[in-house]
Amino acid sequence: MSRIKLLSPRLANQIAAGEVVERPSSVVKELLENSLDAGARQIDLDIEQGGVRLIRVRDNGCGIMSDDLPLALSRHATSKITELEDLERVSSLGFRGEALASIASVARVSLVSGTDYQDSAWKVECAGQEMEASVSPAAHPVGCTVEVRDLFFNTPARRKFLRTEKTEFRHLEEILKRIALSRFDVGFQLRHNQRVIHSLKPAATAQDKERRVMSLCGSAFMEHAIHIDVEGAGVNIHGWVGSPTFSRSQADLQYFFVNGRAVRDKLVTHAVRQAYADVLYHGRHPTYILYLKIDPALVDVNVHPTKNEVRFRNGRLVHDFIFSTLHRALADIRPAQEAGVPEALYSQSREQQVSREYNGPGSPYSGSFGFRYTEQRIGEQLGGYQRLAEAVDQLAGSEESGTMSVAGLPDSEERSPPLGFALAQLQGIYILAQNLQGLVIVDMHAAHERITYEKMKLSHAQKGVQAQPLLVPVSLAVSETEATCAEDCHSIFEELGFLIERAGPETLLVRQVPMLLCNSNVETLVRDVLTDMLEHGQSDRIQQHINEILSTMACHGSVRANRQLSLPEMNALLREMELTERSGQCNHGRPTWTSLSLAELDKLFLRGR
């Protein structure tokens, strides 16, 4: 058996490097964060061969004093914390004091720095051998330049695991994107093999910030993004979330920042996906750039060496805040916003929105279609729309008109609804309508399905969960931890219509279930809920199952394809869509309508060329 002995500083640093320096992008992350912590307002990044040959980061921060330069390359040396209590309120991006030492153990590193307090700049070099740093005078303005050459030159086994130059640069560019999105007040320039890839000026105004987002994430994201800014319970969240129709096949356009630090947190991801659950197409991923501001004392950033993960002191509060904010923002998307028309008639709060209800025979637009559309119900919010709709119907049915034109109708934007007025029905599937911008095409079954679904959810919420006792209780064999969780969450299960009792240390009895779920697999559902409770502190599976059943019922109760609708019925459907939450997507996440502007139609027919 070998004896215990102290590791050499070089080997200790190389072991630490295994945690911190995974690839060139890891080096770039650490160096950029150091520059930001130094107060830099301009950072230039030069890369050669994907970062394997050279990584040079130059900033105009405060710099490092000459006496501190050798310490900068030493392990556990930092200026950002001095005592244990500082870890409870970390406000800097870096604080472990291992990054430069770890990098220097696997590469050739030089650091040149100038400060306002010294007449000349100084340079320190270290070549990953015995970790002895040499300091010498140099020429440099205030700030720092760090050069990292020949990454993993002394650890060839690590170098073999690197990918192609293109792949490594893609990872590296992604790091720059995250940091550039986290600090709009800082300018960035990225060059690869002497070619400028990104040149980002500091962004002070809202327009400049949006321009940076478009530069890094594409203009399509901003075109489909919803801006949010909500504060409550000492927490603020702001940024942009993509509309449900602008989803991705991969989770590659998701950025979340906590106090300026880019993180990937399971709690956050769960909250976002839960908010999108009712509007996102299956297998697709939402897009977002979100910034969470919270008291540093309420979040632990010292969880992982790469600092990509955090732990919230009150995870349930953060989860619910993120979910409710995004859920409300997505629900408030109306056709008025997506069609790009004035939303004055649709900007009232939810409490002021008119109620929507089915009506029996007697309503001018009810019949078997099931809509009630009267001027009395819509009131001032849709004042004048019915008269315009009737005028459209008269024109459409008039033998003298001979066309579906709405010429002669008032074209005031204040009186024109976002989805316009129906012109015709196409193949018994689509409604063709005209608004001020151009042509609107509506999938009538998908739209009616969403309207019916939202009404059923509202009715279900108002009446509460109807529960049904089981003649024979379902016995579940679970772990002691799960049994304790079920016991602690007894009131939560009861609110959702379940009555669960603990019959032993590892046994549960389910005595009551919601009526809508009486034919579901109760055992699997309860087990899944307990798993969520233990992992996230809450679960939405029961509500999801209820919503799935309501969705199926809504699907079967909605108007089918090849059903011929009259113009009044079509217009009634359009008006309901304008008032219904999440009406831009059906219950399965597919879009319910689209539009073609006059400019787009002119382009299709080469008009004006």
* Structural domains of the chain, ranges and CATH numbers in brackets: 9-198 (3.30.565.10), 218-331 (3.30.230.10), 353-456+560-604 (3.30.1540.20), 465-556 (3.30.1370.100)
What ranges in 218-314 are assigned the alpha helix state H?
Answer: 219-223, 266-276
Give CA–CA dist 558/369, Å, rounded.
9
Confidence at 408, pLDDT banded by 50, 70, 90: very low
What tens digit of pLDDT does each residue of 229-287 get? Answer: 999 888 999 999 998 888 898 999 999 999 999 998 888 998 999 899 888 887 889 99
Give CA–CA dist 14/280, Å, rounded.
45
What tens digit of pLDDT does each residue of 546-569 get? Answer: 877 777 777 777 777 778 889 999
Give CA–CA dist 549/107, Å, rounded.
59
Using the predicted structure, report yes or no on whether residue 369 has a pLDDT greater than 60.
no
Helix (H) or strand (E) holding 214: helix 206-217
Do 68 and 45 form a contact (C-beta atoms < 8 A)? no
What tens digit of pLDDT does each residue of 120-135 get? Answer: 899 999 876 555 778 8
Bridge partner residues of 187 (DSSP): 42
Using the predicted structure, report yes or no on whether residue 592 has a pLDDT greater than 60.
yes
At residue 336, the pLDDT reads 58
CB proximity list for 253: less than 8 A, separation 6 or greater: 217, 221, 242, 287, 288
* CA dihedral sign of residues 540, 541, 543, 548: positive
What tens digit of pLDDT does each residue of 295-317 get? Answer: 988 988 877 666 678 889 888 89
Do 359 and 351 form a contact (C-beta atoms < 8 A)? no
Is the model's pTM score more than 0.85? no
Let me know how long the chain is. 609
Q: The tokens of 401 are what?
A: 């008109």
Using the predicted structure, report yes or no on whether residue 576 has a pLDDT greater than 50.
yes
Using the predicted structure, report yes or no on whether residue 158 has a pLDDT greater than 60.
yes
Give CA–CA dist 86/442, Å, rounded.
58
Instruction: Give the pLDDT mean for 103-119.
Output: 91
At residue 403, the pLDDT reads 38
Do 267 and 536 form a contact (C-beta atoms < 8 A)? yes
Do 500 and 526 form a contact (C-beta atoms < 8 A)? yes
Give CA–CA dist 4/249, Å, rounded.
52
Q: The tokens of 277 are what?
A: 């659950």
Give CA–CA dist 443/445, Å, rounded.
6
What tens digit of pLDDT does each residue of 48-77 get? Answer: 999 999 999 999 999 999 988 888 888 777
Specify the DSSP class assigned to residue 141: -
Q: The tokens of 281 are what?
A: 């197409």
Helix (H, G, I), strand (E, B) or coil at 285: strand
Q: The tokens of 24 are what?
A: 């060139």
Q: The tokens of 546 are what?
A: 């209820």
Using the predicted structure, report yes or no on whether residue 508 has a pLDDT greater than 80.
yes
